[in-house]
Chain A
């Protein structure tokens, strides 16, 4: 059967992708970011998962507010890189694991998660910005070493799914993965955050103390986070920072007890950039 071997929580700020595309590895302003992700890339290179299940959000790029899906899952085998206003990033198209994706979509709907289902849509920085940090060799190689199952979460337009619902989605994804007969090792990724706000006079808000607490809670007491309201997340981490509910989906797909094998936090400008790796017991 397919098995979840670990999870990654990661920011998906567009500037992470931009720093990569502009080769800022040695730039002192960006070096701490790259240093924070290097152990994650090493962990993936060592564990060699067969598939990544990616909880991410669209930024009104692929989807628009005339029909905005609450949860949507891609079931295709290739996703183009979306044009967000400057032409697409010059990175390879994303690979999809279509058979597992279709299985997870079917399992989720039968498990009472009524997903929207999409095929060959272009996907934006919500997914591709962290992906180049996880697999930095892939761009030069011209191909991603791992296929994805992309699961989109509406974190743009309220009513957003509740924190508890995101957690339960993660649990349902775990059941779906474990009901796939083929032996596959799967890593789940939750994206977003940490603290930031991109609207109004409060734009530019950050809260490192809350970010640090969140990083602790997502590891040791995620249920405490499921009891919070979205308004609490907006107050503590900024209105856009509430997107960290996607980390709860990732965490919900893991065992109650996991080890955190890496964490990095960097807050250079408007958005706290964090990454954490959680490992299941062997």
Chain B
């Protein structure tokens, strides 16, 4: 069986280093975490997360490992674990972290180093 459960469309995708293809295996592993992150589109959930993160984590039944990654805004670990970038984007907005800053963190770079590689560093 291929890395991606025999999906012929994904043959070769396993060769892309530093790439986390969001397939059904990953979706299952990240379901609880992604459900918590997705919930941040609801104003009351955002308010709870901001005022009492532990209560928000408990409501979502996040594991201690999941809670720590969210507390740390550890974008790289969250992606490795099974978060979808698009649910993480909600956490980014709630936490005031821009997409370029999230991308830089995933690359293991500071924002400044990352922006220096961009054509228009001010366009964010």
A residues contacting B by CB (< 8 A) are 14-15, 19, 27, 29-30, 59-61, 64-66, 82-87, 156-160, 162, 197-204, 229-232, 234-235, 239-240, 267-270
Closest to B93 in A: A85
Q: Identify whether the interface residues of A are mostly helix, strand, loop, or mixed.
A: loop
B contact set with A: CB distance below 8 Å = 4, 7-13, 15-24, 27, 30-31, 34-35, 38, 40-43, 46, 76, 79-80, 84-87, 89-94, 99-100, 102-104, 106-108, 114, 117-124
CB-CB < 8 A to B122: which residues of A?
A: 27, 29
Distance A83 CA – B41 CA, assembled complex (angstroms):
6
Chain B residues within 8 Å of A29, by CB: 120, 122-123
Q: A203-B107, A231-B13 are in contact. Are A269 and B100 (CB under 8 A)?
A: yes
A84 touches B10 (CB 8 A): no
On chain A, the residues within 8 Å of B108 by CB distance are 201
With A60-B38, A198-B103 already in contact, the answer to whether A268 and B120 are too (CB < 8 A) is yes
Residues of B within 8 A of A86 (CB): 93-94
Kindly list chain A residues whose C-beta atoms are within 8 Å of the C-beta of B12: 229, 231-232, 235
Do the beta carbons of B86 and A59 come within 8 Å of each other?
yes
Residues in A whose Cβ lies below 8 Å from that of B4:
158
Q: Out of B34, B43, B119, name the residue touching A83 (CB < 8 Å).
A: B43
CA distance in complex: A85, B89 (Å): 8
Q: Assuming the A-B contacts A83-B41, A200-B18, are A230 and B93 also in contact, with contact meaning beta carbons closer than 8 angstroms in the complex?
A: no
CA distance A158 to B27 in the complex (A): 9
Q: Are B99 and A198 in contact (CB under 8 A)?
A: yes
Q: Smallest CB–CB gap between A66 and chain B, Å?
A: 7
Which of B9, B34, B40, B87 lies in contact with A230, CB distance below 8 A? B9
Q: Are A199 and B17 interface neighbours, CB within 8 A?
A: no
* Cβ–Cβ contact A202 & B17, under 8 A: yes
| Structural contact, B93 and A199, CB atoms closer than 8 A | no
16 contacts between A and B (CB under 8 A): A29-B120, A85-B94, A86-B93, A86-B94, A158-B23, A159-B7, A201-B17, A231-B11, A231-B12, A232-B12, A234-B16, A235-B15, A239-B20, A268-B118, A268-B120, A268-B123
Docked complex Cα distance between A270 and B41 (Å): 24
Q: How many Å lie between the Cα of A160 and that of B22 in the bound state?
A: 10
Residue of A whose beta carbon sits closest to that of B40: A85
Q: Which residue of B lies closest to A13 (CB)?
A: B99
- A-side contacts of B93, CB under 8 Å: 84-86
Complex Cα spacing A239 to B18, Å: 10
Contact residues in B for A229 (Cβ distance below 8 Å)? 8-12
Give the residue name and chain of the A residue nearest to B121 (CB). A269
Instruction: Verify B117–A85 contact, CB threshold 8 A.
Output: no
B123-A156 in contact (CB<8A): no
Q: Which residues from chain A contact B34 at a C-beta distance below 8 Å? A: 60, 64-65
Q: Which residue of B lies closest to A27 (CB)?
A: B122
The listed residue (A15, A83, A200, A232) touching B106 by CB distance below 8 A is A200
B19: which A residues are within 8 A, CB to CB?
Answer: 197, 199-200, 202, 234, 239
CB distance A270 to B18 under 8 Å?
Answer: no
Assuming the contacts A29-B122, A66-B31, A269-B100, asked whether A60 and B86 have C-beta atoms less than 8 A apart, the reply is yes
Min CB distance, B35 to chain A, in Å? 7
- B90 near A84 with CB under 8 A, answer yes
